[in-house]
Amino acid sequence: MISVLLVGNGNVATHLHKAFLTADNIAVAQINSRKLEDIPQADIAIIAVSDDAIAEVSSKMNTYLVVHTSGACGIDELQNSKRKGVFYMLQTFSKDKEVDFSEVPFCLEAENNDDYKILEKLAKSIGKKVYQIDSKQRKALHVSAVFVNNFTNHLYKIGNDICKEHNVPFEILQPLIQETALKIESLSPEKAQTGPAIRNDKKTIKNHLDLLDKKQQKIYQILTKSIQNGN
């Protein structure tokens, strides 16, 4: 039996709490990070708070092992006096959407192998995909995630804006969006690249630029150039 104390009341803490409640051999409690006067005993504290609050909240934690859930912060952000680790799940958590933890990659880090084994056991009690990732690798993952998630979503938004402006239903593009995302599970993104940029189809590129506003043109041009330069 591992006893887990979840600190925080955001989406990550709430979804984790729900999942651990159904797991075998895990006892879980959840507390608000602003009410740390009377902290329950536990083997591990999982601090799922905003990045800025990790240092302060962790300094008040007294469990054997304290981990945070942030992709952006190193393990040294933790200020507790005992052992430290990271329990980072690379997925977006929405308030109203069920999380399928069997699909969530758990990126784990600990200061020694025994602690890593505990985190691994914890992750495998609710999930399947477990990776040992150190703070430097996690930082790279976090930046990559901004490109493939935040920036990709912004490209969807620009596509949506163009559609709206020309009275075209955006839903027409949704099968293509899904196909584009699925394609890279069997093909590297480099090999999956298609379109006027990689073909250097100047006529189509010019036609496209004519239809865009100045800000869209700038993004179109820089991404076209980047595709053509192979980086």
| Residue 150 DSSP one-character state | I
At its nearest, how many Å lie between a copy of itself and the CB of residue 228?
Answer: 10
Which of residues 62 and 207 has its CB atom nearest to a copy of itself in the complex? 207
Across the chain, the runs of DSSP E, i.e. the strands, are: 2-7, 26-31, 44-47, 65-68, 83-89, 105-110, 129-132
Round to the nearest angstrom and report the end-to-end CA distance of the chain.
Answer: 49
Q: How far apart are CA 99 and CA 22, in angstroms?
A: 13
At its nearest, how many Å lie between a copy of itself and the CB of residue 15?
Answer: 13
At its nearest, how many Å lie between a copy of itself and the CB of residue 39?
Answer: 28
At its nearest, how many Å lie between a copy of itself and the CB of residue 192?
Answer: 5
Which of residues 38 and 202 has its CB atom nearest to a copy of itself in the complex? 202
Nearest Cα residue to 220 out of 204, 230, 128: 204
Burial profile 145-184: b = 16 or more Cβ within 10 angstroms, e = fewer = beeeeeeeeeeeeeeeebeeeeeeeeeebeeeeeeeeeee
Which of residues 21 and 198 has its CB atom nearest to a copy of itself in the complex? 198
At its nearest, how many Å lie between a copy of itself and the CB of residue 143?
Answer: 5
| Amino acid (1-letter code) at residue 113 | N
Which of residues 64 and 170 has its CB atom nearest to a copy of itself in the complex? 170
Which of residues 3 and 152 has its CB atom nearest to a copy of itself in the complex? 152
At its nearest, how many Å lie between a copy of itself and the CB of residue 179?
Answer: 6
Q: How far apart are CA 145 and CA 123, in angstroms?
A: 21
Q: Which residues contact 21 (CB under 8 A, 6 or more apart)?
A: 28
